[in-house]
């Protein structure tokens, strides 16, 4: 997988990584903070973070003794644009389908024509 979008979706395919990303939306965290709720080693959490980092979803910086992990929200713009394009296409297809179904229903249930009235005297 060479393109960033594929790396992002692959990284987010794992529920633990999705949870880490969700927690990083609230604030930056250290690896230790991120590891806290999971029953895994710090090394396992670091491997998850490496996948997120390779996808461009997170960065790690150095602040004195801390190495906080920061969510790079700009990557979500790439995902949003891709999803939005296909969402619009799907909505257009559904609109066309709705129009076809409405025409079919109208053909099955014609409304009486007001100009022809049976049994009226002239």
Tokens of 17: 């990584």
Classified by CATH at the fold level, domain 4-72 comes out as: Arc Repressor Mutant, subunit A (1.10.10)
**Average pLDDT, whole number, for the chain?**
87
How far apart, in whole angstroms, are the C-alpha atoms of residue 22 and residue 26?
7
Domain ranges of the chain: 4-72
**Residue 74 main-chain phi, psi, to 5 deg:** -60, -30
**pLDDT tens track, the chain, 122 positions:** 578 899 999 999 999 999 999 999 999 999 999 999 999 999 999 999 999 999 999 999 876 677 899 999 889 888 899 999 889 998 999 999 999 898 888 888 876 664 555 555 55
What's this model's pTM, rounded to 2 decimal places? 0.70
């Amino acid at each position: 997988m060479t393109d960033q979008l594929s790396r992002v979706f692959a990284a987010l395919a794992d529920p633990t990584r999705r949870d880490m990303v969700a927690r990083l939306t609230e604030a930056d965290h250290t690896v230790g903070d991120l590891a806290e709720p999971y029953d895994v080693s710090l090394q396992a959490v670091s491997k998850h973070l490496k996948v997120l980092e390779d996808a461009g979803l997170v960065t790690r910086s150095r602040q004195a003794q801390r190495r906080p992990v920061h969510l790079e929200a700009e990557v979500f713009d790439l995902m949003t644009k891709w999803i939005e394009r296909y969402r619009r296409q799907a909505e257009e297809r559904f609109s066309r389908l709705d129009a076809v179904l409405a025409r079919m229903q109208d053909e099955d249930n014609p409304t009486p024509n007001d100009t022809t009235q049976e049994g009226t005297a002239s």
